[in-house]
Structures are given as C-alpha cells and as structure tokens.
Structure 1
C-alpha cells in the first residue's frame, strides 16, 4: 500500500540553516538558506518565500523575497544587497500549502568579519623560545555600569589553540583550527562569549600548541556591544598588554605525542586566564611581541570542528608486572586517552599507542616509523589526578602503560576524536560478516576526518592524498554529510595548483612532486559529487575554471591520448597476484578519459555549451585511441581485472564487446579463488561492474572470502578498520591498519544492495534499483539527502520480496524493478519504472 496525505497538517520544518550551518557566527554576506522537514513529514507545499530582518520580531526588514513555486529545501540564495559585516540577522522561511496554510520557521545568524576588520598583529614569543604549550593572557578593561548585549571573540591561533575566559575553556572542540596551507590561508573561529563576561576584571586566555604549523602564533579580536549602543574592541597588538608564558604542557607534537608536568601547575597554571591569578617573577611571563609570519589571508572555519565523539572502555588487559600493562580498547580508533591516576609527586605514567601487538603481548609500533605516539603525565601528588592530551592524537587499539615511581593508574578510557560531520547513512542486512565490513568502513572513514581527509591516523604521515580520494569519495558521500569538507578540500587543492594548472598528489601540499598522478580525478569528483549528492551548485561554479586548467594541463602530457607519465596508477595491488599488475600508462590514460568525460558533464551542467562540446569530442577521441591501442577482442591490455573493469565502468568498452570483457573479468575472479587482483583504484570499478551485470552475489562472496588476500581475510584476522595492504604482518614501510582508500566497497551496499542511486539531487533525479542478492534474506538502510531521508528495507518471503520504501516530502524517486511483477495494494502495477512521490510504499515483488 501507499501511505500519503494531501493535507499538509503533517508538514513541519525541523531546522533552518544558513550557509548549510546551524546559526553560524560567521555567515557570508550573501548567504544561502536551506531547511529540512521533520522526519516522516507527509503533504504538499505550493510556494516558498523568505524574510530577512534585523530583529526577531521581523521588524526592521532587510529583505523580503518574492513568492515562488516550491522546488527544493536548499540552494535558496539571498538576493538583496550584501549584508553588513559582524551583524546579527534573522531569517524566516515561509511555506504555503495548496490550502493556503502557512508554515514558518526562523533562525538567527551573524555575518563574518571583513578583511579590514582585522586590525591586530600576529603575536607570540621570539622564535628561539623553547617549550611546549604556550599560554597567552590578556586582562580586559572594566565596564561595570554598562549592560552587555553581545560579545563575540575571533581567534586565529596556530598550530592548535583553545580559548579561555576567566579560567573556563570555551566550547567543546579540540585540535582546532583546521589544517591549511598556512602561507595561503589561516582559519579563524568565532566564539559567542556573551554569558562568560562579567564586565569587570575579565581575563582572556589562549592556550597554543604546535599543531601542523609546528610553531605558535596568535591573532585575536574581541567586540563587545552594549545595550546603550556603545562598543568595546580589543585586538592582539604586540604592545605589552598580552602576557605570554609556559604551561604544564612541556612538549607536544602531532606525531610524537604530549608530555604534561603537573608539578609546575603552581607556577604555570593551565588556568592562567583565571581572574584570581597573580603574576610573580616565578611565573616567567613574557611580554608579547609582534610575530610577523609569512601567513596567508584569514578566513572563517566553515568545516565542522573536531570533537570527542565517542568513548571506548577497555575490553581486556594483560599485566606484565606491577608497572606495565597493555589495554585493548576493542576497536582501532583515532584520538587519545583520558586517565585518572594518583601517586607521589614526580612519579609518571607513560602511554604508548599502537594498532597491533607483538607475539609476546606488548604493543608493536613498527609501522609508525618515526611517530612515537607517546603521552607522558608527571604527577603533582595531590589525590586523584586527571589527564588527557590537548594537542596531539593517535591511531590505536592498544595502549601500553608504564608506571614510574609510586604511580597508580586508576582508570583509562579511549576518546574517539574526529571532525564532527553528521552521519547520514545506515545499512544492515541478514549477513553478520557484511554488517561487520560496513562498520569497518565507517569507522575507518571516521578515523581519517581531521579537518582534512587523511590517509591514516597513526604514522608520520596523515596527509591529504588526492589520489586516495578518487575511490574513497563514493563511500564517504553515502555515510556522512561532507559538503563543508568537500568545499575545503577542493579549495586546498586549488591553492596548491601551480600556474601550469598542475596539482600535486596531496593538499595541503607538504612533500613529493608536482604534477600529481592522473588518478587525482577526485579534484573533479569533489565538485561533481558535491553537486549531485549534496545539491551544491556553487562548488561547481566557483571551481570550474581551475578544474578545467588541470585537465588542460593533462592534455599537454599525452600523445594520441596516451599519457606520458604515471606515478601510482592502480596502487597497492596484491603482490600475491603478479598477473594482476596493470600497465601504469594504460591506467593513467584511462584516467585522462575520465577527466575529459567528467569535465564535459560539468560544463553541460553549468550551461557552458562550447566547453561541453569540446571536451565531449576530446573524450570520444580518447576512447577511440584507447580501444585502438589496448582492446583485443575480449580484453584490454594484459587482461588484468582492473584493465577490463575500468574499460567497462568508464564507458570505454564498446557495448557490443562488454559481455565478452565482463566474462573475462568474472572468469579471472573465479580462477583467482574468488579474489580481486585490483589495487586501490581498480577495485571499486570491478565491484561496480559485477553488480551492474548481475554479479552481486559473486561480489559478496569475494568480500566475505576469509582467505588471503581480501576484506574477509582482514575480518578473519580481527580487523576493526580497513587495512592499507593485504598482509596482516606489521612492517616499517606501508602497513597502516586504518586506511580508507580500500573502504569504498561500502558504497556497494548503498548503491546496489539497497539500490539508492543519487544522480542529481539538485534536479530531483534519484533512482531506486536494488540488486536483491540471493545470498541475503533481508537488507535495510537509509540515506539522509538535502531533500530528506530515504528509507529502504526488504526481506524475502514465500510469495516474493516484500519491500518498504519511504520517499521524503520534496523528493521523487524513479523505481526500477526489472524482471519483477510489481504489486502495490494488491494490484499489479504495469509501469516500470515507477515515479514515486512523498509517501510510504509497501510493495510485493514476484518473479
């Protein structure tokens, strides 16, 4: 049956967003408005308009939009004059139903600073100053007789920084601000501290760590608005008003770890911003100096902050005497530990972190290379003491604790730390192994969101590899709302792009050469998926010229559409299958075709007709050249799985030959013992081709295969996250056990098992076409799109397949059930595909 309602009394707006954020303190001057309906809303909306005002009562109107036909909940662009900087506004969304009923919802926001508003200096201490955490203190002027209306603080503190007011930390975020190419751009954060100021003897404090910058620098501004209309400003000038000094954090490094000496808290307290702190000669405070750096422009941090998102309690421990114990947290996570301890002053506790154990039960840090992942806490000897690091994070499942002196560990908890992006996807099925593989993929992705998409969270790397993203984007766009991270990442790449148009292999650009491998088509995919999955047309418009420049650069590196270089190609294919090693130049040339085809599609979306025709023509020429050089009756190149799969997946293989090439691919998988021989780029294409050609059950068999090499082998060997390599042995080169580049199999669960296919959410083009693998008795899941949450579930029964589908209010889904008789409310439905609008549907599908 179908459950739907024409009346709109069941329609409710759950929240209104500004620039896709909830009540931002630093919105753009031409913001985008969006909103979401309450989950399960049923009904119809006829028109939409919005009101922008300077008061919550909608008095002092700034702009009233015209009423227009309702099409979507997002991409509602402010059409008036640019808003004023650093000002509060209120936005009200007004919807009208066919019956004339109005549905309203309001939110407030502040606009950002302008470049001219930044008046202060970068301050710090001389570069020769040694130390770990640096604390900056600034006493404010008093204004006891004026009532504070609003107080906003703007902090650019790098590498990492925390804001304190009167001894209290502001906010729950950690490891901020986000990592950028600091010579190009530094992110600042905005804090509402209205309720924290008393108006008399207030103190601002900033704790600084080295972070990715490797040094400590601070730029700060405070604006206090009073009820009488007056204003107070404070800026970070190197004029002696700011006092800087050491902290108990005597050493900190992302890779090495953190050392905290609680014995010196009486001299260098972490509450240096306390109103009660009295400076003495022993405090060793230093007058702030101008710390002019070669730093880029300041920009507000729009990505989600890094937060503690979960806690993991040990599931087991093994003691090696009274001073040494190893804890097992049960999951491989990114973060750090929080401990409680007691003991004599000067005793210490050392925490060393690792992903695996040696045969003797101690941790194995072989794969960390030069990253120590070690935190040290020295006790002050005052009852139960608590510690967790502030300016480092680790990738680990196991923690080895060493006690020195008279120290006692009271408790230990693992804190899971990542960019706090919203989870939007869910998946579950009747097979426990597939459920475990799904959880592995999600946790691996979580562990590698740290203001950029890192490759791993543990060793001396943690870089934003662009080529890794090419496969990874398909998985993570179904599991998380990553629009802001997509925008930042594409901006990071753009800032690393050189004049020729070439981009490096990573962004921010830290090491190795330029140009990057042609597998860096993710530069284009970030824009494409940002548009198709998240409905952001702006990510296309803003970045198209730079994407085009990269593609044009690649065209200078080909002859007859065959590339003249390849760095990584189908990276990390299994050494056990030497016959699975693909020709790097062939793979590189496949990627050139993919670039050309994708750029033509993006140009078409943007209405750039000449470019669309031009790059479409080049893609056809590329396709022809690849077939002439590499196609041989039923295979490509040396007939590796990747060479054949990518030809089919990308549309290079002629339709008349696809069956033969697919048969070759399928035969190879069976002959290799139900294993894939593909590397980090080819495996996703191989999986997609299997599912597109009725091979979903074969793929699930491959995924679950417990024999080496494969994902089932990882699972059989206790993995809770996806590995970088296929081997379980820990080695010193490339052996991360928490690497998302091989986790994009998870996309298959959404795209094929559940059948949710997002073609273009902006233009309401979404398909439902489940594969219905015979090896599964049931499957269920959901996907939260900008148009609402899609829910799908089905189970096998004697008379067919019972399928439930919920279509959110503004979405329509084109449902395909090939080779099935479709029944709805007991009636056979002849249309195939079906166009389904808002409502709940219960289908019975028969052979």
Structure 2
C-alpha cells in the first residue's frame, strides 16, 4: 500500500490495483472520534478520490472509536467495496501505512488456470482479466463490485462463462447460480435480465444464452450430467418462449444486443450510448434463438430424449434458414451491416456455408485490416471475433487484435493505468456507465486458454475424460505455456519455437485421454520424447490435418518436436 497526505489530515491509500474487498484499520484516539474511509477506483488531479462513477453508492465506511488507550482495530463485516484508492479522514495524527490492511475478497472458488507467454502484454491482459473475474464472484457473478448495481447480468455472462471456468473452479458456483436463474422463471418460461431479479426486463434479452450455457459448460468441463437433467425443463421452457416471439422465424425483440461497442459505433443518446447502431438487434436475437435451439438439441441427446433432440434440431434449422433469408446481403457478401459483429456472429453460428462463408470471412478480415487490427465489437461479439478468425486460418489477425495497444483494445486499457477491465473501451469517469472493474469485455481470457494453449474439453466424453490440445501458433509469438486444473488433475500445454522447430510439451492427467494436434510442416521429422513418433510405445498416430499431426495420447507427460517455420 502507498499512502499520501493530499491535504491537512486527509490521506489517500493506493492499493496498487483495482479489487473488491475492504480495509482493516488500526487507530488510537478519543472516545467518539470518527474515522471515515471513502472508496473509489480513480482520483482527481488533486489526489482526492473520485466517486462520481459510483452513482448512488456511498462506498464510505465510518468507525466511531470507543477510546481504548491501547488502540483498537476494526473492519466491516457486512459489506465490500470495489476500489483501488481509499480516502482516510479523522486521524488525530498522521497514521502509518502499516495501520491499514487491504482485504481482498471473493467467493471461495479455487484457482484453476495459469498462463504465460513470451509477450508481456498478453501476460498482463491475462492477469487483468483474472483479477476482474475474481473481483466479481460474490455468491453470484456480478457485473461490477463498486457502484449501486453489483448484479448478475445474463447478457454479460453469456460470453464470460468459459473465461471464468479456465481461471477458477466454478463446479459448485455455477450450479448454485443456475438455481438463482431458474428462480426468476415464470409460467410462460420467461427468465429475467438479472438473476436474482433486481433490474432489467422480463423476458430477458435473447442474448441471454447464458441460461443454457451455464448448464452446458458445467457438463462439458466438470462432467455434471445431473445439472442437465435438473434444469432441462426450464431451459426448454425458455427456448419455447423465444420461439413464440418470432415472425417469419425472426425474433421480434432486443434490448442490448452486442452491447457497448467502441463509442463511435454506439447510438448517441440511447442506453448510455452502448446500443450498437450497426449491429441489428433482431440479428443478434434470432442468432441466439438458433444457438439455444441447437444447444438444447445436444442436451436432449445427452439425456436420451431423441424426440426433443429432433424437435429442437428442426427449430435450429428453421431459424438458421430465416436468419439467412433476412440478414444475408448477396450484394456485399456479408450479414446485416457487414460489420465485424454481424459477420463474426454468423461465422460463429456456422450459418454461413460454402461461398457465403468464404465471402463473409473475407469481408471480416478486410474490415479488421482496414481498421488496422482494431475491433468494432461489443461485449458479445468480441468473443466470437477472436474465435472465428482463429478457427478459420486467421490466427495472426486475431493475435494482432488481442495485442493491439491503441484504442480500442485491452492494451489501451493497460497503457492508461487499468489493472482490471473497464466497462467501456474508452477511459471514462463521471456518473454514467463507467465501471473500471467489469468482466464483460474479458472473453479474450478464454481465447488464451482455448486457442494459444489449445485446451478444450469434449462434450462426448465430458469432465476431461477425453479432451483436445490444439494450440494455434501466431507468427509474432515465440512461446506459450499454461496449466488448467481439471477435475481429473492438471492439464499442461507449453510450446516454444526454436530455429525453425517447435517443441510442444503436454501433460495429461490420470484416467484421461487427449487428442493432441502437433503443429508441423513435415510430419516425417516429428519426434516424441526424442524418438521418431512411429517408435513411441504410448502415443498413437491418427492422421495429418491442416498443418497438424494428430495423436491420441494417454495419461502422462510428453514432449513433441516438429519442423515449424513462420
């Protein structure tokens, strides 16, 4: 902690990073003396705390001394704050820095993931995302820890789930939260924008696929089949309700859509300027009906309900056809307004087929390049932008977006002093939508694990009974390593380039089998633990596929070496 006296008797503590928690103090004084602690994320030029973005939240603790001559200690028991800075007033003489202890708090979810690379910016982004998620786990996944809100917003959570799972053990947290969501559901199947329901609409915005994804990802990552069985009726009722809100297959309402794109792409004067002016709300809503119907069909298959599996597969097909009829623009070769959000979302949903897919991808890449590797997406489509570029042979473009340092970007946040994610791509203070500890823009965190490390579970053999390690190798990155604590043990993926070769080390936990994709330009020279792969006794060669050599790998630690040239 750093402490400065900004005026006579007024001291400001700097915790060095934005966080959620409180401050414990030690003090000696007269009975009836009052110590006040004012919490904030930013400070004014004169060094005093700026609480404007907290809106009606007072974020102030007051302790009245009992006058113990030996001194006394105090900390709050029934609140927490989001802050980096604390303004302290009421001490009779200058306190010592050691009189204050910053308590950082979150729900007791264990750490699950670690990430490091040869790029310091990527490492800083990973830490910023992880800190932000940790600050917003307080029995529910809150949107922010500091202002008069702290709610579980379902739209944000749609793209936040995987990032949280890779960073923390959410195996008990998410089932509990799913119960909170289910508690909001009415007899028509409608859930609400926030859970527990304190604000927002009923029905929730259709982008709230988080209801289904919370169950699906808990099954995929932790093998919890019971959660599908328990919540299937409610999930089905939500999808059925969305289907009633269609005309010619197009969902007829939207509130938030791809929320909070860079300021120039928002509607001025509406919804804090966070509603996208170029990404149609009905495109987002209809796409999410398709996505939810497809997820529900998969769940029905897992549960052995073949009739429902077919019903919702048909609904997905019909919705996808309506999506293409309504939003495909043959003239420009893209979807909706042909912007990054519309095209990345259509590609993510796999609704662009054949020539349409090629044209959509080309338009998406061209737009990224024209904007000098800056994104124009909001909270939802930022996740899909990085993923579809990576999966469609454009890892270098995705990497350049992720490591961008000028506005709008995660690097821009860091360059302007951020230690946790901002709510907006802009640096903003004042009494608006200006949280500086907001995880909705943190989906880049899951991209680091899923694509740079390549660690992905299998829905067919969930809970990491079987899984994939398939790292994507950007030209601009020399090495990458990380671990994930699965329910079966630690998964490790680490790769490093060296003089035209690539070394990939993997760790497979007990009672698990991995499909490992080894990047290679010449399979004949590939070795495993120093031996030609054909002579290795445990790994099994399967095939060559799009620049990878694919193996089935049992439990244990292995080192692959291949020819690799940028």
What is the TM-score normalised by the length of structure 2?
A: 0.91
CA contact (8 A) 1:580 1:677 kept: no
Give, in angstroms, the shift of residue 762 of structure 1: 4.0
In 1, distance between residues paired with 2:428 and 2:203? Answer: 33
Say whether residues 1:386 and 2:73 are aligned partners: yes
Alignment-derived partner of residue 272 in structure 2:
none
1:711 aligns with 2:410: yes
CA offset at residue 412 of structure 1? 1.1
Q: Secondary structure at the match of 2:320?
A: helix
> Alpha-carbon deviation of 1:322?
3.9
Q: Distance in 1 between matches of 2:122 and 2:551?
A: 30
In structure 2, the residue matched to 1:772 is 473
Matched, 1:366 2:52: yes
Unaligned runs of 5+ in 1: 1-313
Once the two structures are superposed, residues 343-392 of structure 1 have per-residue CA deviations (whole angstroms, 9 ceiling, x without a partner) of 22222211100001112211110100010110111222222211111111
Contact (CA 8 Å) 2:527, 2:561: kept in 1 or not? Answer: yes
Select 2:317's aligned residue among 594, 614, 620.
Answer: 620
Contact 2:464–2:512 (CA under 8 A) maintained in structure 1: no
Partner of 1:798: 499
Matches of 2:47 and 2:187 in 1, distance apart?
53
Aligned residue in 2 for 1:823: 527
Counterpart in 2 of 1:664? 363
Q: 1:763 to 1:346 in 2, by over 3 A?
A: closer
CA contact (8 A) 2:263 2:426 kept: no
| Aligned length, in residue pairs | 533
Separation (CA, whole Å) in 2 of partners of 1:561 and 1:481: 38
Question: Does the alignment pair 1:606 with 2:303?
Answer: yes
* 2:562 is aligned with 1:845: yes
| Residues 639 and 799 of structure 1, relative CA distance in 2, 3 Å threshold | closer
Give the Cα–Cα distance (whole angstroms) in 2 for the partners of residues 392 and 552 of structure 1.
Answer: 39
Question: Quick one: which of 827, 834, 843 aligns to 2:551?
Answer: 834
Classify the secondary structure of the residue corresponding to 2:386.
helix
In 2: Cα distance, 1:412 partner to 1:700 partner: 41
Cα pair 2:221 2:464 within 8 Å, conserved: no
1:682 alignment partner in structure 2: 381
Give the 3-state SS of the residue equivalent to 1:339 in structure 2.
strand
Distance 1:763 1:462, change over 3 A: closer
Query: C-alpha displacement at 1:828, in angstroms?
Result: 4.3
**Separation in structure 2 between the aligned mates of residue 716 and residue 340 of structure 1, nearest angstrom:** 35
CA drift at 1:467: 1.2
Measure how far apart 1:729 and its partner are.
2.1
Please tell me whether the aligned partners of residues 580 and 641 of structure 1 are also in contact (alpha carbons under 8 angstroms). no
CA deviation profile, 1:147-168 (whole Å, cap 9, x unmatched): xxxxxxxxxxxxxxxxxxxxxx
Q: TM-score, normalised by structure 1?
A: 0.62
The DSSP-based 3-state class of the residue aligned with 2:161 is: helix
1:818, distance to aligned residue in structure 2 (A):
5.2
1:143-222 matches, within 5 Å, as none
1:395-410 maps to which residues of 2 (within 5 A)? 395-403=82-90, 408=95
Contact kept, 8 Å, 1:421 with 1:480, in 2: the verdict is: yes
Aligned to 1:591: 288
Q: Distance in 2 between matches of 1:576 and 1:706?
A: 18
Show the 5 A alignment for 1:487-506. 487-506=175-194
CA contact (8 A) 2:9 2:93 kept: no
Alignment-derived partner of residue 238 in structure 2 = 550
Write out per-residue CA displacement over residues 642-673 of structure 1, whole angstroms, 9 at most, x where no aligned residue.
11001111111113322221111111112223
Q: Does 1:443 align with 2:131?
A: yes
Higher relative contact order (CA closer than 8 Å, sequence separation 6+) = 2
- Aligned-partner SS, 1:817: strand
Verify: 1:458 aligned to 2:146, yes or no: yes
Summarize deviations over 1:479-534 as a string: whole Å, max 9, x none.
11112111111111111100000011011111332000001111000110010011
SS in 2 for 1:343: coil
Cα distance between partner residues in 1 of 2:432 and 2:287: 29
For the residue of structure 2 that corresponds to 1:418, the secondary structure is coil
Consecutive unaligned residues of structure 2, counting only runs of 5 or more, are 267-275, 535-540, 544-549
Looking at secondary structure, tell me which structure has more helix per residue.
Answer: 2
Q: Distance in 2 between matches of 1:577 and 1:517?
A: 20
- How far the C-alpha of 1:700 sits from its partner, in A, is 2.4
Tell whether the 8 Å contact from 1:344 to 1:406 is kept in structure 2 after alignment.
no
Q: CA deviation at 1:799?
A: 4.5
Is 1:754 the counterpart of 2:466? The answer is: no
Distance 2:277 2:429 in 1: 24
Whose Rg is larger? Answer: 1
Structure 1: how far apart are the matches of 2:387 and 2:340? 12
For the residue of structure 2 that corresponds to 1:376, the secondary structure is strand
Residues 801 and 845 in structure 1, CA contact (< 8 A), matched pair in contact too: yes
Q: Which residue of 1 is the match for residue 211 of structure 2?
A: 523
Tell me how large the CA RMSD over aligned residues is.
1.6
